[in-house]
Structure 1
Amino acid sequence: MAHSDVTLLALNAGSSSLKLSLYRMTTSDAPELVAHIQMEEIGDAPHLVGTLASGESFIDEHPEPREIANHDSAYAKLREALDNEFGQLELAAVGHRVVHGGDQFDGPTAIDDVTRERIASLTPMAPLHQPHHLEGMDAVSRFAPQTLQVACFDNTFHLDMPQIAQLTGLPYRFFDQGIRRYGFHGLSYEYIAETLHQIAPDLARGRVVAAHLGNGASLCAMHGGKSIDTTMSFTALDGLPMGTRVGALDPGVLLYLQQEHGYDLDALQSLLYHDSGLLGLSGVDSDMHALLSSDSPRARLAVEFFVHRTAQEIARLAVSLGGLDGIVFTAGIGEHAPAVRRDIMERLSPLCSVAVDDTANLSTNPGRISTPESRVAVHVIPTDEERMIARHTYAVWQSRQPDA
């Protein structure tokens, strides 16, 4: 039996934001976006914005801070706005992006009390993200306790990486205890792998490094659309420098800060997650656009360091792949910073014969940005994590129907 016009939400909860994407489902492969709505600066200066799939705005408000004091009130306000625009919605399910599933979940999972507690137990491995995912789940539970909720994990795309890519240099017993390299941004990489297969199937079957470059940034080495290696590891701190996160760091620095500067656990966590990366290096901003526009020498230094480290890590992942056939840029910086893309490729050109087409790179809809002569094909593909959440959530919902 086919289920038509199933409606669901993809939810992404941040520390001070809540984002909902409303989808209408007819098949698991073709989610139809209806609208996107989000609340920013919850509890401080709330800003409610909603747009239709066409891009047309249907709401833009600034509620009083006391009205939107937490994720519960934010979710209620977002649902009210959606109901006002589309009529009383009967949701089949709500899907949540969850950063860390550890090795406890191998795919999208219906959320119940046990699942929630297992997700909560992973908070030390994702302290910047996990608590807010839980707040989003709790908000939905209080607003609509009977609605199916599904957790879609950002690390499951990488769970089948070769063991060599999952190991750390710690004694093997720690690997058996779950201390291993996991990797994240998996919903984004899954979408990129599928989209690349549609637009460049020969390349998709080859050796590709996907670069999810945004406020959170990582790379994924894919062969035939499968994850082979990645830059993030046990937590979302490792790898590239990010907006406010440190990226790869000699662990001896942490010991030194503890021993010589009196840093405790809370101070280290704040330093590594909130005060480092582009913000810490530049002293100006964590936003790449702001740094590119700045005439500050430290802003230029921060951008150069980001480019330098990204090119280094792409080269490292090319070793994991045994060569390189393509690069895909995605996410905020990857999609919207042509100067950063150009500089990364220029650093790689002596190693892997990659050349940028300046006209394509500067286009508002760039697509392939490497020259025809470039041995390595380079594409820009906008990511769509919410679409992947919708597909996975619909599949879980379908599996629970009586006629499944």
Structure 2
Amino acid sequence: MSGLNAILAVNAGSSSLKFALYPQDGRDIGAARLSGNIEGLEAGGAPIVKVSGKDGNSSDTLQAGDGCPHDRALAALDTVLKRHADGIRITAIAHRIVHGGERLTESVLLDEDMLAYLTSLSSLAPLHQPHNLAGVRAFRKSFPDLPQIGCFDTAFHATLPQTEYLFALPQSLREMGIRRYGFHGLSYRYVADRLMERTEHARGRAVIAHLGNGASACAVKNGKSIATTMGFSALDGLMMGTRSGEVDPGVLLHLLRHGWSWEQLERMLYRESGLRGVSGVSADMRTLHASAEPAARLAIDIFIHRLVRECGALSACLEGLDVIAFTGGIGEHDAALRKRTCDALSYLGIRIDEAANQAADGDAIAAIHAADSSVEIWVVPTDEGRVAAQDAARLIN
């Protein structure tokens, strides 16, 4: 890989950092040559680096080192780059940032003023935004001469119509920025682009389901977002790993009347609900499938029910359906969930090819619809980092 220019895309979390190197030729970005995940960055942890590249997979266990989690991540990443990407010239760093608010509807160069604005949005995505921004600050300190680009999950949903993004609340709250924003936008943009390369039907009416620890679904028409399940925060809509998804706000008022604090509500909604809360077993769908506990089966059933319900609502917004696509860790790898979802949506003309569904493993884009299906069904491995790298290449050129 020596002699290549590349953009480093990063996604900084509380105890992990995902990274990928994308070769750059002007504004053109190729598939990742090197990618990985650094885990164990929490206090007392030992960084574990999992790297994948052209030469296969490898794992390194590195010394923990001192400093804050993202300083530790940078030390680990520096070791990774020296071992696996010696000679590559990094031209920019692209950061996935969950929330861009109303102001930021496309990727931007990050400076102190921009970071101050993004910090003001942290309460809207407390599981992600503070850690995303801590990563930005750590990289700006370690790579002061490189452009740092912010790429926002909310930006893809800038095309939502007013009837979709406005809540039925007083205008004074609307003027405070309380509205539906939508999330997982980098993933939706990548999947929509890949689908339009494969099938003309994707330029029509598509529902994309991004299913992972965070989960949402989006109605896309000709590559543009017109409706989505997540709203003002990353709590709304589908059931998730530890997040509740849609909850009657009357429940929260009831708990407040019974003495709950906002800290208790936030912890419950973000960290103690969803698959973990219902099952009492795990937030991991694989663990729930393997469990004999009735509550684990119930959690899966509710997850699928919520997904089917929202897909029906999104297809109504589209006035029909031409394509449904699954992405994210669950969407790409859980064949049983895909089948149950598509079977429940058969009234829309969806027919799944069971053999193709079983064969789809998330390693490559795959069509899994039967010959007599009036709706195409696709599994599309997402690559949010490549979208971020593309935007960075455009901005620095």
Task: For residue 92 of structure 1, give the secondary structure of its aligned residue in structure 2.
Answer: strand
**Aligned-residue offset at 1:142:** 1.8
For residue 281 of structure 2, give the secondary structure of its aligned residue in structure 1.
Answer: coil
Amino acid at match of 1:372: A
For 2:149 and 2:367, the matched residues in 1 are separated by: 35
Q: What secondary structure sits across from 1:227 in the alignment?
A: strand
1:364 to 1:282, Cα distance in 2 relative to 1, 3 A: same
Aligned partner of 1:263 among 260, 263, 266: 260
Residues 69, 121 of structure 1: CA spacing in aligned structure 2 closer, same or farther, 3 A cutoff? closer
Q: Deviations over 1:367-403 (max 9, x none)?
A: 11121111111111111101111111111111xxxxx
Aligned counterpart in structure 2 of residue 324 of structure 1, from 321, 324, 339: 321
Tell me, yes or no, if structure 1 residue 361 matches structure 2 residue 372: no
2:332 equivalent among 332, 335, 347: 335
1:19 maps to amino acid: K
Match of 1:99 in 2: 98
| Number of the residue aligned with 2:178 | 179
Shift of the alpha carbon at 1:308? Answer: 0.3
Render the CA deviation track for 1:241-284: whole Å, top value 9, x for unaligned.
10000000000100111112x21011111000000000000000
TM-score by length of 1: 0.93
Report the equivalent of 2:167. 168
The answer to whether the Cα contact below 8 Å between 1:83 and 1:89 also exists between their aligned partners in 2 is no
Partner Cα separation in structure 1 for residue 50 and residue 277 of structure 2: 33
Decide which of 276, 279, 283 is 1:279's aligned counterpart.
276
Deviations 1:138-184 (A, max 9, x none): 11122122221000000100011111110112113322321111100
Matches of 1:176 and 1:160, distance apart in 2: 19
Following the alignment from structure 1 to structure 2, what is the Cα–Cα distance between the partners of residues 300 and 74? Answer: 37
Contact 1:25 1:32 (8 Å CA) reproduced: no
**Which residue identity is paired with 2:54?**
S
When residues 41 and 232 of structure 1 are mapped into structure 2, their CA distance, relative to the original with a 3 A threshold, is same
Partner in structure 1 of residue 348 of structure 2: 352
Are residues 1:209 and 2:197 paired?
A: no
Which residue number corresponds to residue 199 of structure 1? 198
Aligned to 1:240: 238
Which amino acid in structure 1 is aligned with residue 237 of structure 2? G
Residue in 2 aligned with 1:220? 218
Give the conservation status (yes or no) of the 8 Å contact 2:5–2:88: no
Distance 1:204 1:29 in 2: 23
Q: Does 1:53 align with 2:56?
A: no
Let me know the Cα RMSD of the aligned residues.
Answer: 1.6
Aligned pair count reads 391
Structure 2 counterpart of 1:114: 113
Distance 2:62 2:395 in 1: 36
Q: Distance in 1 between matches of 2:44 and 2:342?
A: 41
| Pair 1:296 & 2:297 matched | no
Distance 1:287 1:55 in 2: 29
Counterpart-to-counterpart distance in 2, 1:128 and 1:362 = 33
- Rounded to whole Å, the distance in 1 between the matches of 2:60 and 2:9 is 20
Q: Deviations over 1:81-133 (max 9, x none)?
A: 21233336542110000000010112100001101101101111111111101
**Contact 1:39 1:46 (8 Å CA) reproduced:** no
Distance 2:197 2:236 in 1: 31
Other structure's SS at 1:36 match: strand
Cα distance change of structure 1 residues 118 and 28 upon mapping to structure 2, 3 Å threshold:
same
Counterpart in 2 of 1:311? 308
Aligned to 2:71: 72
- Distance of 2:19 and 2:186 partners within structure 1: 16
Deviation at 1:58, TM superposition (A): 4.6
Q: Provide the rounded CA distance (Å) in 1 between the counterparts of 2:28 and 2:283.
A: 36
Contact 1:37 1:48 in 2 (8 A): no
What are the within-5 Å matches in structure 2 for residues 136-175 of structure 1? Answer: 136-175=135-174
SS of corresponding position for 1:159: helix
Question: Is residue 187–residue 210 contact of structure 2 (8 Å, CA) maintained in 1?
Answer: yes
CA distance in 2, matches of 1:52, 1:246: 33
1:62 is displaced (CA, Å) by 4.6
Query: Which consecutive aligned stretches of 4+ in structure 1 deviate over 4 angstroms post-superposition?
Result: 66-69
Q: Secondary structure at the match of 2:191?
A: helix
Partner amino acid for 2:126? P
Q: TM-score with structure 2 length normalisation?
A: 0.95
Shift in Å, 1:59: 4.3
CA distance in structure 2 between the partners assigned to 1:378 and 1:335 by the alignment: 12
- Report if aligned partners of 1:211, 1:218 keep a CA contact under 8 Å in 2: yes
2:21 aligned with 1:6: no
Q: Partner of 1:33: helix, strand, or coil?
A: coil
Amino acid at match of 2:390: R
**Which ranges in structure 2 are unaligned for 5 or more consecutive residues?**
none
